[in-house]
Amino acid sequence: MAISVLLPKILETTKSNLITEPSIAVIIPTYCEAENVEQLIRQIQRLHLNIKIIVVDDSSPDQTQHIVNKLNREFENILLVSRPKKLGLGTAITAGFRHALEFDPTPDFVITMDSDFSHNPNDIPRLVNIAKKGYNLVVGSRYVAGGKMKNWPLSRKIISRFANILATGAVGLRLNDFTSGFRCYSKDYIAKVVSKLHSTTYEIQIETIRQARLNEFQVKEIPITFINRKNGNSKLSSAEFLGFLTYVVGAIFSNFNLFFIRRSQTK
Ligand SMILES: Nc1nc2c(ncn2[C@@H]2O[C@H](COP(=O)(O)OP(=O)(O)O)[C@@H](O)[C@H]2O)c(=O)[nH]1
Ligand SMILES: [Mg+2]
């Protein structure tokens, strides 16, 4: 085929790829993740997506921020949000949402993920592809068919299952993995819900699903393989787990109240 015929075709395909490729912001909360953060960011860059990376770091006393600053000089798509002290996973994710909304244009989708390789960055396109079908919140789930967990200690498995049972009562929605932090949110969801989020720590994962239900956003789970971190330690402290429990129990009571108020109003 002559080049004069091929060239317009190639240009057209490239143009349509550029137009249809969604813009994505990936929020990575970090606290003492110096052993993981560089490798993770480099792996995300290798996906060659239309992506911005927002690292929300709470003045980690290790080299995390130094490493992100170094990468910042190499890549143009990294935003380091530096907070003065450890302020909790919930406020870190909410801060990431706010920064994502400040990009112009607003990213079509926002991914949240741990910085410890428990969540495989190569799964990002899969999450986005499902969100593109019209789901506002796609949850990477360990507890649906095809989902797996590798090397997680029994104690964490028990806590996770227990948290999921409580979360079902708190949210009033059937879902298998409420506590997974590997997710894709639509920009409509973020814009509508961000001002309603008040979580400080890990309860953010429940509050975001609860808000999806209250605002009638579509939620979908897809299987992921979760691998326990190899480097560094979990930041889930017993104080943070208590914060999670307090939120969940409060939400269960407020659901009961709503139920009884609605019933008494219909009498
Ligand atoms: N900025 C910030 N990040 C946090 C905080 N707590 C946890 N993280 C990060 O949130 C993610 C989830 O924490 P992680 O320790 O992996 O929890 P686990 O997977 O439940 O054991 C990791 O990337 C942590 O570095 C916090 O208080 N502030
Ligand atoms: Mg983790």
Alpha carbon distance 147, 154 (integer Å): 17
Between the CA of 229 and the centroid of ligand 1 the distance, in Å, is: 11
pLDDT at 16: 46
The DSSP output letter for 225 is E
Alpha carbon distance 177, 236 (integer Å): 17
Between the CA of 234 and the centroid of ligand 1 the distance, in Å, is: 7
pLDDT at 87: 97
235 lines ligand 1 (CB under 6 A): yes
For residue 19, pLDDT over 70 is answered with no
Q: pLDDT tens for residues 113-159?
A: 999 999 999 999 999 999 999 999 999 999 999 999 999 999 999 99
Q: pLDDT tens for residues 34-69?
A: 999 999 999 999 999 999 999 999 999 999 999 999
pLDDT at 3: 53
The CA dihedral of 174, 111, 186, 183, to the nearest 10 degrees, is: -10
DSSP assignment string, 139-204: EEESSSTT-EEES--HHHHHHHHHHHHHHHHHH-S--S-SS---EEEEHHHHHHHGGG----STTH
- The alpha carbon of residue 266 and the mean position of all alpha carbons in its chain are separated, in whole angstroms, by 39
For residue 15, pLDDT over 60 is answered with no
User: Residue 113, class by beta-carbon neighbours within 10 Å (0-12 exposed, 13-18 middle, 19+ buried)?
Assistant: buried
| Contact indicator for 200, 90 with CB cutoff of 8 Å | yes
pLDDT at 255: 75
What average pLDDT is seen over the chain?
Answer: 91
Between the CA of 151 and the centroid of ligand 1 the distance, in Å, is: 18
35 lines ligand 1 (CB under 6 A): no
Alpha carbon distance 66, 64 (integer Å): 6
57 lines ligand 1 (CB under 6 A): yes
pLDDT at 263: 59
* Complete domains list, the chain, with CATH: 21-266 (3.90.550.10)
User: Residue 140, class by beta-carbon neighbours within 10 Å (0-12 exposed, 13-18 middle, 19+ buried)?
Assistant: buried
Best mutation site among 27, 28, 31, 180 for ligand 1, i.e. most ligand atoms within 8 A of its Cβ?
31
Q: pLDDT tens for residues 194-213?
A: 999 999 999 999 999 999 99
The CA dihedral of 44, 50, 51, 52, to the nearest 10 degrees, is: 140
For residue 265, pLDDT over 90 is answered with no
Q: What are phi and psi of 86, to 5 degrees?
A: -65, 110
79 Cβ contact partners less than 8 Å away, ≥ 6 residues apart = 52, 53, 54, 55, 99
pLDDT at 260: 60
Average pLDDT for residues 96-122, to the nearest whole number?
A: 98
The DSSP output letter for 116 is S
| Contact indicator for 225, 150 with CB cutoff of 8 Å | yes
16-25, 59-68, 216-225, 231-240 — which is least confidently predicted? 16-25
Q: Which atom of ligand 1 sits closest to the CA of residue 115? A: 23
The DSSP output letter for 107 is P
Which tokens in the block code for residue 198?
């008040």
Between the CA of 5 and the centroid of ligand 2 the distance, in Å, is: 52
Between the CA of 239 and the centroid of ligand 1 the distance, in Å, is: 14
Q: What are phi and psi of 218, to 5 degrees?
A: -80, 130
For residue 17, pLDDT over 50 is answered with no
Best mutation site among 89, 98, 206, 244 for ligand 1, i.e. most ligand atoms within 8 A of its Cβ?
89
